[in-house]
Amino acid sequence: MSTLETGTIEPQSGTTVTLGTSGDAVVIGADALKVNTVKDAGANTIFTSDGSGTLSSVNSGLSGNMVYINKTTASTTSSISFTSGIDSTYDEYVFYFVNMNPVTDAVGFGFQFNASGGSGFNETITSTAFYSLHKEDNTNTGIGYYASADQAQGTAYQPLVTGVGNASDECFSGILHLFAPSSTTYVKHFYALSNEYVFGDYGVQQVYIAGYVNTTSAIDEIDFKFTSGYINEGTIYLYGIK
- CA R_g for the chain: 24
Domains present along the chain, CATH in parentheses: 64-241 (2.60.120)
Provide the residue type at 118 as one letter: G
pLDDT category of residue 8 using cuts at 50, 70 and 90: confident
Find, among 4, 154, 178, 21, the residue nearest to 89 by Cα. 178
pLDDT(213) > 90: yes
pLDDT(63) > 60: no
Given this model, what pLDDT does residue 205 score? 98
Paired with 92 in beta bridges are 179, 241
String of DSSP letters for 142-165: EEEE-GGG--SSB-SPEEEEEEE-
Mean pLDDT in the chain?
91
pLDDT category of residue 73 using cuts at 50, 70 and 90: very high
Find, among 195, 189, 157, the residue nearest to 174 by Cα. 195
- Over residues 63-82, the mean pLDDT reads 92
Q: How far apart are CA 122 and CA 126, in angstroms?
A: 12
Residue 178 neighbours by CB under 8 Å, 6+ apart: 86, 92, 93, 94, 95, 188, 189, 190, 219, 222
